[in-house]
Structure 1
């Protein structure tokens, strides 16, 4: 494979970086939905949120590889937006959704108006391949019961893709029987119909597809977050002086920042390989699992080094390092399946 981005992917990365650099204001309080809606809508207006949609739905007909490029830039900027809706919602719906589901939700996601996420984690079972959430047939409908954890952007979600024992369903998080506490979603006899079920051409296909997109999206976002933390720390040790010399000139500091660089490059190449295989229709395993293993094992340790090299400044909430740390910590837990 070629690890170099093609012209289209470079344009996506460049445009995303330009918009994020112009629009992000960490002093601006989040909107009513808990994220920076101004930034998210700016990305939608530029067409970036819809690059993977087919032309008939107003998109560019691209795919996972291009979405991954955008997710990496969102991670690099630690953007306060519901980034994972692209991998947890848009891509699976485009692949698995019925014509009505796609027509209703995909254009709204691409415009930055709707947030669709997925509940792929259960207690002590991240990215579970065997969901314990039950779906019981009841007179032409299904009743869903179970607990989902670490659901990204749950408070802002328009719909949630919920894997169950009978397939994957689109659930309204405001429906009767749904209880939300932070990123945990409890379902107690939530009623859905056949119209809410995504297409499952073969038994287990919908869940397998959803898990693959979710893991690939988390890796792309985490890859960017780790690269952003590395850039921030490299700049700091190059400018901060101790005993009249920049920190970067001390051998111990140089060795530690080199460790972070190696971790970042390893995660990047592993994620890129897995995403390329998935985007090109090849079997993404074991590459996806290897990339998830490396990220879960190495990224948190690399962020700990970044904190150490920043000293007390690294734990100051007015300094941006904590945003990368929080993002990497959450993603590392969810990729360690």
Structure 2
């Protein structure tokens, strides 16, 4: 189920925004029936936050695209039936017009994916390194417009970052719920620790932070639902909700005391899972840069 949710969340938007009816029928519909899994391969060893530095190439040869390069930290890399590849197609064009997005079926000759192990959190999610060695796909596997890949990617981030903000709110709320349950049951000095004012102050601060994060997440989602995608609001929602998730989970673990440090308690897993929210789909520094530039001007 988690793999299907990742498919629907991270990548399907590209089809809805830029795909043709034929591409939607061929690639998108099977996801909803559970017959396909997809991923979006953007990050490279030397191209993370700087997506325009991506060097994986897609060269047009006759009626085919030939792809070469590698990607890292790609969701569904070993499980996907097809991937969206952010690739360099026009190296001599302006920097923001050099890349395109190509659909690559993972059973194509030359496609290889190795699982990446040792993640601190999100261990149930497939993360892989992808290698493309003269992978050939038909020209109709171009998604959207040639040379418009970066702008399509930014439109995708305007949506995916809103989803990540929801992830942050949910993680923080779950951590708060665990903390409340624990402080009601855990007794020290002859009474539940939840009866102490200092603990109640911590719970109050956590609840306020979550409610504020939830409201800006709702605003970002409302704008998207009404066709008014706002890059700045989405960046704010993602940055703030991710930060609140990290802060709330940290405080919730603290309230569990030593027990929270052991994997008998779910809060240990939440602690490991929270940090990535400030990294993927745009590191918090990138969100700050977007917000600052929007307000001050470039």
**1:145 aligned partner:** 68
- CA deviations 1:119-169 (Å, max 9, x no partner) are 233446556552513222233322223333332233321211122223111
**1:95 aligned partner:** 17
CA separation of 1:265 and 1:128: change in aligned 2, threshold 3 A: farther
Task: Find out whether 1:136 has 2:71 as its counterpart.
Answer: no
Equivalent residue pairs, number: 259
Task: Find out whether 1:162 has 2:85 as its counterpart.
Answer: yes
- Confirm or deny: 8 A CA contact 2:169 2:214 kept in the other structure: yes
Query: Of 211, 216, 230, which aligns to 2:176?
Result: 230
Aligned equivalents of 2:75, 2:61: Cα separation in 1: 30
**1:178 aligned partner:** 111
CA separation of 1:171 and 1:214: change in aligned 2, threshold 3 A: farther
Output aligned runs, 1:1-337, within 5 Å.
40=1, 81-123=3-45, 125-126=47-48, 128-130=50-52, 132=54, 133-166=56-89, 167-181=100-114, 182=116, 183=127, 184-200=129-145, 203-204=148-149, 205-334=151-280, 335-336=282-283, 337=286
Q: Please, which runs of 5 or more residues in structure 2 have no aligned partner?
A: 90-99, 117-126, 287-298
SS for the counterpart of 1:288 is helix
SS for the counterpart of 2:143 is coil
Aligned equivalents of 2:47, 2:218: Cα separation in 1: 25
> Aligned Cα RMSD in Å?
2.6
SS for the counterpart of 1:155 is coil
Q: What is the CA distance between 1:201 and its match in structure 2?
A: 8.5
SS for the counterpart of 2:103 is strand
Aligned equivalents of 2:34, 2:177: Cα separation in 1: 29
- Confirm or deny: 8 A CA contact 2:176 2:207 kept in the other structure: yes
CA separation of 1:136 and 1:199: change in aligned 2, threshold 3 A: same
- Confirm or deny: 8 A CA contact 1:117 1:159 kept in the other structure: yes
Aligned equivalents of 1:127, 1:161: Cα separation in 2: 18
CA separation of 1:264 and 1:113: change in aligned 2, threshold 3 A: farther
**2:119 aligned partner:** none
Q: What is the CA distance between 1:286 and its match in structure 2?
A: 0.7
Aligned equivalents of 2:48, 2:180: Cα separation in 1: 33
TM (norm. structure 2) is 0.76
- Confirm or deny: 8 A CA contact 2:162 2:217 kept in the other structure: yes
CA separation of 1:274 and 1:254: change in aligned 2, threshold 3 A: same
TM (norm. structure 1) is 0.68
Q: What is the CA distance between 1:179 and its match in structure 2?
A: 3.1
CA separation of 1:125 and 1:241: change in aligned 2, threshold 3 A: farther
SS for the counterpart of 2:78 is helix
- Confirm or deny: 8 A CA contact 1:143 1:192 kept in the other structure: yes
Q: Please, which runs of 5 or more residues in structure 1 have no aligned partner?
A: 1-39, 41-79
- CA deviations 1:40-98 (Å, max 9, x no partner) are 3xxxxxxxxxxxxxxxxxxxxxxxxxxxxxxxxxxxxxxx5543222213332233222
Q: What is the CA distance between 1:311 and its match in structure 2?
A: 2.0
